[in-house]
Amino acid sequence: MPSLDSNLFPLWLAQTLCVLFLAITFLQSGLDKVIDWKGNLGWLTGHFSKTPLRGVVAPMLASLTLLELAAGAASAAGVVVLVLSGSTRVALWGAALSGLSFVALFFGQRMAKDYAGASGLVPYFLVSIVALLVLRG
C-alpha cells in the first residue's frame, strides 16, 4: 500500500475499492445460489420457461454459480494481495472473471426478455471494466 501522500495512493485505492466491490458482489451471489439452490433453480426455471434455454437451466445455474464463486474468490484474494504486496495480477483475474460473469448474466436476462433486469446489470459490468482498466500493469 502506498503512503497516503503518495501520488499512487488514489490509484491503489480505486483498484482496491473496485475489486472489493466485485468480491462482495460475487461471493454473496454465488453463496446464495449454493445455499438456496432449490429456490434459485425454481425461480430460474420459470424465468426461462419460454426461452430456448428452458432445457438447460440446471447446468446453466451450476456453471454460473461456479463462475460467480471463482470471480468472488479471485477478487477477494486479489484484494488481499493488493493490500499486502501491491501486485495487481490476482485482482486482474478477479475483475476479468467478474466481467465474464456479468456478460453471462446479461445474456440470460436478454434471452428471458427481462430488459429491466439486463439494464440493471450495466452499472455492475462497468465497475468490472473500470477495475480492468485501473489494474492494468
Overall size of the chain counted in residues: 137
HEC secondary structure over 61-117: HHHHHHHHHHHHHHHHHHHHHHHHHCCCHHHHHHHHHHHHHHHHHHHHHHHCCCHHH
Q: What is the pLDDT of residues 40-49, one digit of tens each?
A: 999 999 999 9
Question: How far, in Å, CA of 53 to CA of 72, rounded?
Answer: 25
- HSE, CB side, 13 Å, CA atoms: give it for residue 22: 39
In whole numbers, what is the pLDDT of the chain averaged over residues?
95
Mean predicted confidence (pLDDT) in 89-113: 96
Candidates 75, 60, 59; CA nearest to 124 is: 75
Mean predicted confidence (pLDDT) in 49-71: 95
**Residue 77: per-residue pLDDT:** 98
Mean predicted confidence (pLDDT) in 14-37: 97
pLDDT at 6 over 80: yes
What percent of the chain lies above the pLDDT cut of 70? 99
**Residue 1: per-residue pLDDT:** 81
pLDDT at 89 over 80: yes
**Residue 99: per-residue pLDDT:** 97
Mean predicted confidence (pLDDT) in 29-33: 97
Candidates 99, 100, 95; CA nearest to 136 is: 95
**Residue 3: per-residue pLDDT:** 83
Grid coordinates representing 83 are 493490500
Question: How far, in Å, CA of 137 to CA of 50, rounded?
Answer: 44
Q: Using 50, 70 and 90 to split pLDDT, how confident is the model at 137?
A: low
**Residue 34: per-residue pLDDT:** 97
What percent of the chain lies above the pLDDT cut of 90? 93
Question: How far, in Å, CA of 2 to CA of 23, rounded?
Answer: 22
